[in-house]
Amino acid sequence: MKKTLTRNACAKINLGLDVVGVREDGYHLLRMVMQQIDLFDTLTFTVTDAQGAGKIRLIDESGLSPAGEDNLICRAIRMMEEKYDLHADVDVRLIKRIPVAAGLAGGSTDAAAAFCAIRDLLVPQVSDQELMELGVRLGADIPYCIAGGTKLAEGIGEILTELPPMPECAIVLIKPEASASTAHVYRAVDELGEYHHPDIDGQIAALHAGDLQGLALRCENVLELVTGADLPVIGSIEDFLKRQGALTARMSGSGPSVFGIFETRTDAEKTREAFLRTESAKGCRIFVCTPVSSAEK
């Protein structure tokens, strides 16, 4: 018996990210407007023996993803095996395009793809909701990455509410060479005390109205208070994107990736070319993307 399935695992950006509290176990309580984009990793899963020894072999053609059983892809497959008493031998071939440690949920979206692929190949009766309840034990972004599209994420990120699709636009995404520690960023936010909170409700209203400019004006990420101070390159990239006509430019997640929202693909492509001609482009990875809706997932 041999079954093969290929899935594209999309990156996400945070159109809005607010920290609203801390749980007793140390996890931060969040309110976020999450948006998938069409920058994706491609994963091909092959089950060679449904009654095998449970061997997992991961081949990362880019060499960018951590190898071995600690990889989130392998851990997701192991969780599926334990939960549903599976014994399959699984080969995974990964083509990695999403930058790692970038605030784009690259690891989480690959794990989400693994949960969904093993379900589809071996236990198709399992619902997305069951997968999300299992996935949150591995990572707070994984339920969102399973659901996809445009969502309000609350709790630690696992409480999801469907939102209208992001209005048509183009996104310039820039990942600078610098890196940020998520754990450090959240600890530092805790030490800030009082700070301005993003208008998440205003963003939701703008989405319901199909108002791209209103949405863009309210894009804000409280984690940028920390990462932006630690890494001035983030502000420099944002300023460049705004000078090129971006409706807004903000950091995604805990950073350091920056996205700029443009009304047209042409404007976004021109901005990408202009940035590539600057000294600041050295060491950066630059993409032009579009939003992905739940219907396209």
- Catalytically active residues, by annotation: 12, 141
A 10 A CB-CB count for 76 gives 26
**178 close to 102: Cβ distance less than 8 angstroms:** no
Q: Which long-range contacts (CB under 8 A, 24 or more apart) does 280-287 make?
A: 280/233, 280/236, 280/237, 280/240, 282/177, 283/176, 283/177, 284/174, 284/175, 284/176, 284/177, 284/237, 285/99, 285/174, 285/175, 286/172, 286/173, 286/174, 286/175, 287/39, 287/172, 287/173, 287/174
Which three-class secondary structure state does DSSP give residue 158? coil
Whole-number Å distance between alpha carbons of 114 and 77: 6
